[in-house]
Amino acid sequence: MSWEDNVRKVVPYTPGEQPKIKNIIKLNTNENPYPPAPEVEEVLKNLTVDDFRKYPDPTCDELVTAVADFYKVDKENVFVGVGSDDVLAMAFLTFFNSKDPEKKVLFPDITYSFYDVWADLFRIPFEQVSLKEDFTINPEDYYKENAGVVIANPNAPTGVLLPLEQIEEIVKRNPDVVVIVDEAYVDFGGESALPLIDKYENLLVVQTFSKSRSMAGMRIGYAFGSKKIIKYLLDAKFSFNSYTMNMPTLSLGAAAIRDRAYFEECREKVIATRERIKPLLSELGFTFGDSKTNFIFAKHEKMHGKDIFAYLRQNGIIVRRFDLPRIDEYLRISIGTDEEMDRLISVLKEFL
Minimum distance between the CB of residue 85 and ligand PMP, rounded to whole angstroms?
3
Q: Nearest-CB residue to ligand PMP?
A: 83
Residue 51 DSSP SS3: helix
- Count of beta carbons in the 10 Å neighbourhood of residue 146: 22
Is 188 an interacting residue with respect to ligand PMP (CB under 6 A)?
A: no
Minimum distance between the CB of residue 279 and ligand PMP, rounded to whole angstroms?
25
Q: Which stretch binds ligand PMP (CB under 6 A): 78-86, 228-236, 271-279, 327-335?
A: 78-86
| Region for 214 from its dihedrals, namely left if φ exceeds 0, alpha if ψ lies in -120 to 50, beta otherwise | left
Is 187 an interacting residue with respect to ligand PMP (CB under 6 A)?
A: no
- According to CB under 6 A, which one of 221, 225, 253, 305 is a site residue for ligand PMP? 221
Cα separation, 66 vs 72, whole angstroms: 10
Helix ranges (DSSP H) in the chain: 38-45, 61-71, 83-95, 115-121, 164-172, 227-237, 247-258, 260-283, 305-314, 338-351
Q: Which is nearer to ligand PMP, 221 or 336 (CB)?
A: 221
Q: Which is nearer to ligand PMP, 90 or 347 (CB)?
A: 90
Is 205 an interacting residue with respect to ligand PMP (CB under 6 A)?
A: no
Minimum distance between the CB of residue 245 and ligand PMP, rounded to whole angstroms?
13
Q: Which is nearer to ligand PMP, 77 or 294 (CB)?
A: 294
Q: Which is nearer to ligand PMP, 286 or 295 (CB)?
A: 295
- Count of beta carbons in the 10 Å neighbourhood of residue 139: 17
Minimum distance between the CB of residue 7 and ligand PMP, rounded to whole angstroms?
26
Q: Which is nearer to ligand PMP, 166 or 293 (CB)?
A: 293
Is 112 an interacting residue with respect to ligand PMP (CB under 6 A)?
A: yes
Cα separation, 200 vs 172, whole angstroms: 8
Distance of CA 58 to the CA centre of its chain: 24
- According to CB under 6 A, which one of 80, 105, 184, 229 is a site residue for ligand PMP? 184
- HEC string of 179-207 equals EEEECCCHHHCCCCCHHHHHCCCCEEEEE
Q: Which stretch binds ligand PMP (CB under 6 A): 83-91, 186-194, 197-205, 330-338?
A: 83-91
Burial of residue 137 (CB within 10 Å: 0-12, 13-18, 19+) is buried
Residue 285 neighbours by CB under 8 Å, 6+ apart: 300, 301, 302, 303, 352
Q: Which is nearer to ligand PMP, 222 or 286 (CB)?
A: 222
Judged by CB under 6 A, the number of residues near ligand PMP is 12
Minimum distance between the CB of residue 53 and ligand PMP, rounded to whole angstroms?
28
DSSP letter assigned to residue 35: P
- According to CB under 6 A, which one of 210, 214, 273, 294 is a site residue for ligand PMP? 210
Is 336 an interacting residue with respect to ligand PMP (CB under 6 A)?
A: no
Residue 142 neighbours by CB under 8 Å, 6+ apart: 106, 129, 149, 151, 170, 173, 174
Minimum distance between the CB of residue 210 and ligand PMP, rounded to whole angstroms?
3
Cα separation, 321 vs 83, whole angstroms: 23
- According to CB under 6 A, which one of 208, 214, 226, 251 is a site residue for ligand PMP? 208
- According to CB under 6 A, which one of 216, 250, 296, 317 is a site residue for ligand PMP? 216
Beta bridge partners of 133: none
Residue 241 neighbours by CB under 8 Å, 6+ apart: none
Q: Which is nearer to ligand PMP, 124 or 347 (CB)?
A: 124
Is 156 an interacting residue with respect to ligand PMP (CB under 6 A)?
A: yes
Site residues (vs ligand PMP, CB under 6 A): 83-85, 112, 152, 156, 182, 184, 208, 210, 216, 221
